[in-house]
Structure 1
Amino acid sequence: MSTPTSRRKQKEPAAPKVPVSLTVAGLPEHDLENDGAYRAMHFKSIDLSSRRARTAEFEGCRFVDTAFAGTEMHRAELTDVELDRCDLSNMRVRSSSAHRAVVSASRLTGAAWSECAFHDVVFDTCRADLAGFRFSSFRTVVFRDCTLLEANFQDADLRGARFERCDLTGAQFSNAKMAGTRFADCTLAGIAGVTSLRGAIIRSSDAWGLVHSLAGAMGITIEDAS
């Protein structure tokens, strides 16, 4: 007997395979640069803000308390990486990929990850208000305990994503693909592009937050009882 889609146990993202032995990174030797290759390295308390790098590759790396604020990357590849307590605010990342990655307790305020591919990625306890993920694809990705106020997922493929205990107030989902996207214990008040949630799986307790957005999309006026 088949299990209903809404009750199937969703696959957990694969954990990063970070080597036990890592080379300690330092500046200027390991600064970001075009076509740079960074493998099995530990970046700790390093400021990599306001850099520009094309086709950089990161494999088996750990970043702790590292700043990327305002840094721009194009066609970057991040494989088997961990980012803990990092500042990724106002980053500009385009046409890049992240595979087997964990981003925890980090700040992504105002960051823009456009046309990117996320596979087996966990965002845990991150502040990502005003972050943008336009035209990006998510395959086996979890946003857990994240603040995503007014985050932009316009035209994103979220069919492989789930949101757990996230605040998505005012988030934008216009033209997103969301069949099978899961929301659990999330705040969904005031989201835009609510009609794109067709096929999404939402807990009953979360659905109340969609009432006004759905009514607005359907031209329904909700009046308070007199």
Structure 2
Amino acid sequence: MADGSGGELSGHYFDAEAFDGADWSEALIEHADFETCVFTDVVFRGARIKVGRFADCTFVNCDLSLVESVDTIFTGCTFRNSRMVGMNWTLTREEPHRLHGAHVYAGCDISLSDFTGLDLRDVEFTECRARDVMFREAKLVNSSFNKTDLAGADFAHADLSGARLVDAIGVSLDPRVTTLDGAIVSPITAMQVVEALGIVVETDE
């Protein structure tokens, strides 16, 4: 299943199947349903996935950069050591927009991706590169960003209530436009938040 056309996938249901080394670059994949499938070294780069579903699937060493997932639902998926640079996750008409279930991203590069307005409750990012990611208006309640590089990430109007960012790298937060109730941050980030509020902290020498 590696001819890259996507035709062999469209309109089919796949249960607990393993896909290894396939190249579906710039493929058009429509109405495909994947459940508990494992994708290893699969290239989706630039593919357009329309009206699909990925339930409890695992992606290992895959490239989903620049993928457009249109009206496609991802439920409880795990992404390990995969590239998703510039991926737009927002092209769905489902309300509310949500990547269903607690997704896990470990060792991934999701830089320049767009999660605007998505419901990302309980999502886990571990040792990921997430530079310049758009998290505007996203619901990131109880999410975690363990050793994840968030330089340039935009959290304007996002809800980070209960989020764990203590080990996040390069994170910049503005409490005037971001909900941070119960968020766990590092002392450096806490000082940044205080300064954003115009508060001056003096320490005894």
Alignment TM-score, normalising by the size of structure 2: 0.81
Once the two structures are superposed, what CA deviation does each residue of 1:157-179 show, in whole Å capped at 9, x if it has no partner?
11142111101011011121221
Q: Which amino acid aligns with 2:15?
A: R
Q: Return 5+ residue gaps in structure 2 as ranges.
A: 91-96, 201-205
Which residue of structure 1 aligns with residue 203 of structure 2?
none
Relative to structure 1, the CA distance from residue 68 to residue 30 in structure 2 (aligned partners, 3 Å threshold; closer, same or farther) is closer
Distance (Å, rounded) in 1 between the aligned partners of 2:62 and 2:40: 6
Out of 1, 15, 31, which is 1:55 matched to? 31
Distance (Å, rounded) in 1 between the aligned partners of 2:104 and 2:53: 16
Please report the RMSD computed on the Cα atoms of aligned residues, expressed in angstroms: 2.7
- Give the stretch that moved more between structures: 175-184 or 57-66: 175-184
Out of 105, 109, 122, which is 2:85 matched to? 109
Distance (Å, rounded) in 2 between the aligned partners of 1:29 and 1:54: 11
Q: Which has the higher helix share?
A: 1
Distance (Å, rounded) in 1 between the aligned partners of 2:145 and 2:187: 14
- How far apart are residue 102 of structure 1 and its match? 1.2
Instruction: State the secondary structure of the residue aligned to 1:166.
Output: coil
Residues 133 and 153 of structure 1 are in contact (CA less than 8 Å); yes or no, is this contact kept in structure 2? Answer: yes
Residues 142 and 163 of structure 2 are in contact (CA less than 8 Å); yes or no, is this contact kept in structure 1? Answer: yes
Alignment of 1:156 onto 2:138: yes
Alignment of 1:45 onto 2:4: no
Residues 180 and 199 of structure 1 are in contact (CA less than 8 Å); yes or no, is this contact kept in structure 2? Answer: yes
Once the two structures are superposed, what CA deviation does each residue of 1:120-172 show, in whole Å capped at 9, x if it has no partner?
21100001111111121123321100010111111211114211110101101
Which residue of structure 2 aligns with residue 175 of structure 1?
157
Out of 56, 71, 87, which is 1:80 matched to? 56
Instruction: State the secondary structure of the residue aligned to 2:121.
Output: strand
Residues 33 and 52 of structure 1 are in contact (CA less than 8 Å); yes or no, is this contact kept in structure 2? Answer: no
Distance (Å, rounded) in 1 between the aligned partners of 2:50 and 2:176: 31
Q: Which has the higher strand share?
A: 1
- Stretches (4+) displaced over 6 A: none
Distance (Å, rounded) in 2 between the aligned partners of 1:200 and 1:98: 28
Distance (Å, rounded) in 1 between the aligned partners of 2:36 and 2:63: 19
Distance (Å, rounded) in 1 between the aligned partners of 2:44 and 2:30: 15
Relative to structure 1, the CA distance from residue 180 to residue 212 in structure 2 (aligned partners, 3 Å threshold; closer, same or farther) is closer
Which residue of structure 1 aligns with residue 188 of structure 2?
208
Alignment TM-score, normalising by the size of structure 1: 0.74
Which residue of structure 2 aligns with residue 187 of structure 1?
169
Distance (Å, rounded) in 2 between the aligned partners of 1:45 and 1:135: 33
